Structure formats: structure tokens, C-alpha cells
Amino acid sequence: MDVLVFKTSVKNELQASQLQPKLDKLIQQGECWNFDLEDCDRILRFEANQIRAEKILKTLHQSGFECEELL
């Protein structure tokens, strides 16, 4: 399983919940994602097989949020 980590501009639980349906569409059953909004970089972490960072970046950007993959 791959782990991808992103720095985001998501500021609160309301914004995260608005993204939930879009982010859920990117993963399969048994895979997961979560936000750590207490971290200064407002981390978004995906644990998934065969997921592409570009899809996650595009989804957040199209929703009006900044997103940068942390390598």
C-alpha cells in the first residue's frame, strides 16, 4: 500500500467534510485518507494502492484549495 502525504490549505472540519465525497471517489474499499488539521501544514494523508498524486492535487485545486505533495 502506498502512502501519499500532502500539505494543504484546508483550514477546518467543515472544509474537510465538504471534500469528503470527492476524496472518497479516489479510493477503493480498504483504503483510507485523513486530515491532520492540527499540524501547521494541514496534512492530508492517503493510504491506497495505485493512487496517483496528480488525481489528488487536481481534486483539491478544482475545489479551491492549495495542495502540495510532500516527498
Distance CA 12, CA 4 (A): 20
pLDDT at residue number 5 = 98
Neighbours of 52 (CB within 10 A): 12
> Cα Rg for the chain, rounded, in angstroms?
11
Q: Which domain holds residue 24?
A: 2-70
Neighbours of 63 (CB within 10 A): 14
Per-residue model confidence as pLDDT tens digits over 11-52? 999 999 999 999 999 999 999 999 999 999 999 999 999 889
Tell me how many domains the chain contains.
Answer: 1
Residue 18's domain is classified under what CATH number?
A: 3.30.70.100
Distance CA 60, CA 22 (A): 9
